[in-house]
């Protein structure tokens, strides 16, 4: 009897949890467990041919979502984020290059997204409650202006 493709060694590796390593400029912000908002949508544009009723639709300006990343607070990564936030407070949030690397549970890199002109727009940590066994979760929200290859049709 043959095994389904998802039962082989490769399938088991793909079924395990992923991690995400985030960088901002030269800063390593550490590993994160949840990433949301990595997305792009294009405005829909119409082009009408002369004064005829013939027209074409095409993708116009790309719009990127706000990136939201979360993890259990930990000494090294949380300290790196706090240092970055302090720099942003004094400099006004200068946009810089960054990235997200998607890793398997074994640490093998699956994909990387280079984030252009990113900077933090909010940070929060969950309620502290020692009576429960929940860890404190920090959440960082980032604005960015693209992750697609530079020099694409509309420059973003």
pLDDT tens-digit readout, 74-90? 999 999 999 999 999 98
Comparing C-alpha atoms, which of 15, 17, 48, 53 is closest to residue 33? 17
pLDDT on residue 101:
93
- 79's enclosing H/E stretch is helix 75-91
Give the integer Cα–Cα distance in Å for 122 and 69: 11
The answer to whether the CB of 111 falls within 8 A of the CB of 140 is no
The listed CATH number (2.30.110.20, 1.20.140.10, 3.20.20.70, 3.60.15.10) that belongs to domain 8-143: 2.30.110.20
pLDDT tens-digit readout, 54-65? 888 888 888 999
Q: Is residue 1 predicted with pLDDT exceeding 50? A: no
Q: So where are the chain's domains?
A: 8-143
pLDDT tens-digit readout, 97-113? 999 999 988 888 999 99
């Amino acid at each position: 009897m043959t095994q389904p493709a998802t039962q082989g060694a490769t399938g088991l590796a793909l079924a395990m949890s992923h991690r995400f390593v985030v960088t901002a400029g030269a800063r390593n912000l550490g590993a994160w467990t949840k990433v949301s908002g990595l997305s792009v949508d294009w405005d829909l544009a119409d082009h009408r041919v002369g004064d005829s009723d013939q027209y074409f639709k095409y993708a116009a300006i790309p719009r990127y979502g706000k990136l939201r990343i979360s993890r259990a607070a930990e000494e090294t990564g949380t300290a790196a984020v706090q240092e970055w936030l302090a720099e942003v407070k004094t400099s006004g949030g200068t946009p810089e290059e960054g990235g997200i690397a998607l890793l398997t549970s074994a640490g093998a890199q699956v994909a990387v997204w280079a984030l252009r002109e990113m900077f933090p727009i909010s940070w929060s940590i969950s309620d502290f409650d020692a009576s429960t066994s929940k860890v404190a979760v920090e959440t960082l929200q980032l604005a960015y202006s693209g992750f697609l290859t530079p020099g694409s049709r509309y420059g973003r």
